[in-house]
């Protein structure tokens, strides 16, 4: 009796045939065996980092940072919480994708606060990786609410931020391709309340054989459109 062995690598299958002398091909007895293969799975870790206590707007608090990471990838889906040191209450919550180096032992977990809405209290302006892209960098602004001693959620999201304390404005822009552009400016009073928002939008449109640049202006108060102006000009690349 003779044995013939065939290996199909892509399937990891070993085929063996018992061959007897003068046995016709259609009478061969076959058996199937499976070869074990070693597969290395990425190691998954629960990552936690807690900052030293610090004071902001008269509140002693600390950052608590939690994420699930894999040892073969440098980005981590994580939650960032600012907690009241005395009662452990969460006063700011943010979910985003962070660099794994944020969890390194030598990295001091801190974010610089600033008065973003000009009311005398410090706020947090956090860059967001999920809100960034080819159009620029995205940001989330968490304004402090003195009445509740927490930071307002949801935050104000804006791209390529510029804060002007003289005009009491927060402005930002975003590109969406050649000729496509949007610019927002939020105007505040001296008490941190948003008075109104101006939005300028450029977009390319086609009318018959012409390529035009459509320019739109909107004024918004309390999320209601109060004014709209639209004009078009010939688009020149």
Lowest mean pLDDT among 9-18, 30-39, 178-187: 9-18
Q: Given this structure, which CATH class describes domain 40-107? A: alpha beta
The string of DSSP letters for 118-171 reads SSSS-EEEEEEEEEEETTEEEEEEE-EETTTTEE-SSPEEEES-EEETTTTEEE
Choice between 235 and 48, residue whose per-residue pLDDT is larger: 48
Choice between 177 and 55, residue whose per-residue pLDDT is larger: 55
Choice between 31 and 158, residue whose per-residue pLDDT is larger: 158
pLDDT band at 14; cut points 50, 70, 90: very low
Q: Please, what is the average pLDDT of the chain?
A: 84
Give CA–CA dist 98/76, Å, rounded: 5
pLDDT at 22: 54
Burial status of residue 162 (CB atoms within 10 A of its CB: 0-12, 13-18, 19 or more): exposed
Per-residue model confidence as pLDDT tens digits over 105-154: 788 888 999 999 999 999 999 999 887 777 789 999 999 999 999 999 99
Choice between 109 and 170, residue whose per-residue pLDDT is larger: 170
Ranges of each domain in the chain: 2-34, 40-107, 112-237
Choice between 215 and 8, residue whose per-residue pLDDT is larger: 215
Instruction: Please count the residues of the chain.
Output: 237
């Amino acid at each position: 009796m003779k044995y013939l062995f065939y290996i199909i690598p892509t399937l990891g299958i070993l085929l063996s045939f018992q061959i007897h002398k003068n046995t016709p091909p259609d009478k061969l007895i076959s058996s199937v065996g499976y070869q074990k293969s070693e597969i290395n799975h990425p190691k998954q870790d629960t990552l936690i980092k807690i900052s030293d206590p610090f004071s902001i707007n008269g509140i002693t608090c600390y950052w608590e940072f939690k994420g699930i990471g894999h040892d073969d990838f440098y980005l981590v889906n994580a939650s960032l919480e600012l907690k009241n040191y005395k009662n452990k209450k969460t006063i700011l919550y943010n979910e985003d994708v962070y660099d794994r180096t944020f969890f390194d032992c030598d990295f001091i977990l801190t974010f610089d606060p600033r008065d973003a809405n000009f009311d005398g209290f410090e706020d947090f302006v956090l860059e967001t990786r999920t809100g960034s892209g080819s159009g620029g960098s995205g940001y989330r602004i968490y304004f402090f609410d003195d009445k509740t001693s927490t930071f307002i959620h949801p935050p104000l999201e804006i791209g390529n931020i510029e804060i002007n304390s003289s005009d009491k404005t927060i402005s930002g822009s975003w590109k969406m391709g050649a000729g496509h552009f949007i610019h927002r400016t939020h105007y505040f009073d001296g008490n941190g309340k948003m008075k109104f928002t101006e939005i300028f939008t450029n977009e390319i449109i086609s009318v018959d054989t012409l390529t035009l640049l459509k320019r739109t202006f909107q004024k918004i108060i309390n999320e209601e459109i109060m004014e709209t102006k639209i004009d078009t000009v010939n688009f020149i690349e």
